[in-house]
Structure 1
Amino acid sequence: MQFAIRTTNYQNQPMLNICDAEILGKKIIEGELTMHISENYYGERFVEKEEAESLLKNSSIINMAGKETVSLSLKLGIGSELAVKTVSDVPFLIIFNM
């Protein structure tokens, strides 16, 4: 399984945008809501599961999308099932630790 990632810093904190590689570039539509899983936002490069785990563990701010990505984060104890939002069967989770 590959993950699409983009890393940056926000207010001197490591920030990670990560999604399942297979949803990169797709539009998620539910009712009047349309979300684009943008290559500009998530698609700097592709990583395998081991690197994704390391990035998730070492980032203070994480924006994630996709079943595999959110599932991996929850298995690592990052985030809560209660905070997961789903749009058209695609889970999203945002983590903010300072």
Structure 2
Amino acid sequence: MQFSVKVTDYQKNIMLNICDVGLLGKKIIQDDLNMNISKNYYGEKLVDKEEAILLLKNSSIINMVGQQTISLSLELGIGSENGIKSISGVPFLIVFKM
């Protein structure tokens, strides 16, 4: 299992953008909502599950898209099912760790 990620330093916090590989480059539309899962935002590199786990655990701000990504995050106790939103059936979740 692979994930597409981009890691940046944002105001002295590690920000992780992570998505299911199969969603990279897709545009999702539902009514007036548009989500562009761009390579610029999510596609710095591909990582395996083990590296994704380390990144999820060590990041302060996480933008995630896709069923596999969010399932992994929830398994790690990061985020809540109550925070998951969906556009055209594609789930996304944003987490801020304090």
TM over 0.5: yes
Secondary structure of the equivalent of 1:68?
Answer: helix
Q: What is the CA distance between 1:35 and its match in structure 2? A: 1.2
Secondary structure of the equivalent of 1:63?
Answer: strand
Rounded Cα–Cα distance in structure 2 between residues aligned with 1:29 and 1:70: 20
Match of 1:37 in 2: 37
The alignment yields a C-alpha RMSD, in angstroms, of 0.8
Match of 1:63 in 2: 63
Matching of residue 52 in structure 1 with residue 55 in structure 2: no
What letter matches 1:37 in structure 2? I
Match of 1:73 in 2: 73
Rounded Cα–Cα distance in structure 1 between residues aligned with 2:33 and 2:86: 12
Q: What is the CA distance between 1:32 and its match in structure 2? A: 2.6
Q: What is the CA distance between 1:34 and its match in structure 2? A: 1.9
Rounded Cα–Cα distance in structure 2 between residues aligned with 1:33 and 1:55: 28
Rounded Cα–Cα distance in structure 1 between residues aligned with 2:20 and 2:47: 10
Residue deviations 1:29-55 (CA, integer Å, cap 9, x gap): 112322110100000000001100010
Rounded Cα–Cα distance in structure 2 between residues aligned with 1:71 and 1:87: 17
Secondary structure of the equivalent of 2:94?
Answer: strand
Number of aligned residue pairs: 98
Rounded Cα–Cα distance in structure 2 between residues aligned with 1:18 and 1:53: 11
- 5+ residue gaps, structure 1: none
Match of 1:14 in 2: 14
4+ residue stretches of structure 1 with deviation over 6 A? none
Percent identity between the two aligned chains: 64
Question: 15-24 vs 26-35, which deviates more?
Answer: 26-35
- 5+ residue gaps, structure 2: none
Matching of residue 82 in structure 1 with residue 82 in structure 2: yes
